Amino acid sequence: MTVDRALRDSINHRLANLAAEQQVAPDRIRRHFVFQRILVRLSADDDTWVLKGGFALEVRLGLDARATKDLDLAMLEDLDGVEVQDRLLDALDVDADDGLTFQVSAPRATASDEAGNPGWTFTVTSVLGGKVFASLRLDVVARSDEIAGAVGTIEVRPPILAERLSSTAMPAVDVAQHAAEKFHAMARTYAGGRPSSRVKDLVDVVLLAEAGLLPHPDLAGRLQTVWQVRDGVPPPAQLPDFPAAWIGDYAAMAAELDLDIDYPTARSTAERLFAEALATEENQQ
């Protein structure tokens, strides 16, 4: 048995054991492992990349967070999709003592966000011991203006082999910025007057509150920044009424997470946090 094959078998065995021990889907543990190994490499690339999205929540909240299948990053340089692909390939072409190598697909442009910032989706395929280990989606957006002043670091540790594999201090959007983006997603009206369908962001706000990460002293300022950058206006005085469909969708997500907070309480929690943040902003003016 080759060294690479032995390492692959060892990693697969440890990931399976951890999934059974924590009673979670094996694919979730495998994704977490690969995401972490990607971030170890990207964090060494001159602060070019900033972690955002669902995996940032997984790092902060652990298994209490919703499982995410994508790795979301903000790009702090003004590059086009092919240049972003080249930066990814260069950053991932590093030996991090885990046996993994990476292939990065050509970029697929995604719709620009509300502020006109471009974005791209990549398929990142990890190979271990000569076999495909996991193929994952990586989303990159150019959003340096919006997150200026709202980037900290979070420690991202490997779920297995901590004695061998390195952890990393990864630049990431801070909790206030992350929450402000979620409030904006909940309040947004889409083309044709369609209301938001982002009930998952309500779940995330409740999880952040339950973890003691909200309220946050910087939320007021980040709400102002997100609304101004994306819409050119200040945030509304209050959150809009959410669609009735959210009631059932929220209940299903909460049950999956063993989250003992019903929809009316979740709604009132979000309203309170939003209103308190805006009141703080008014009092400081």
Q: Over the stretch 32-62, which tens digit does the pLDDT of each residue have?
A: 999 999 999 999 987 789 999 999 999 999 9
Closest alpha carbon to 184 in 142, 132, 240: 240
Contact 90, 67 (CB under 8 A): no
Q: What is the mean pLDDT of residues 161-175?
A: 96
The per-residue pLDDT for range 61-117, each reduced to its tens digit, is 999 999 999 999 999 888 999 999 999 999 999 999 999 999 999 999 997 766 678
Adjacent-strand bridge partners of 138: 71, 122
The span from the CA of 186 to the CA of 141, in Å, is 20
The per-residue pLDDT for range 207-236, each reduced to its tens digit, is 999 999 999 999 999 999 999 999 999 999
* Percent of the chain's residues with pLDDT above 70: 96
pTM of the model: 0.94
Judged on CB neighbours under 10 Å (0-12, 13-18, 19+), 281 is: middle
Structural domains for the chain:
3-173 (3.10.450.620), 176-284 (no CATH)
Q: What is the mean pLDDT of residues 158-187?
A: 96
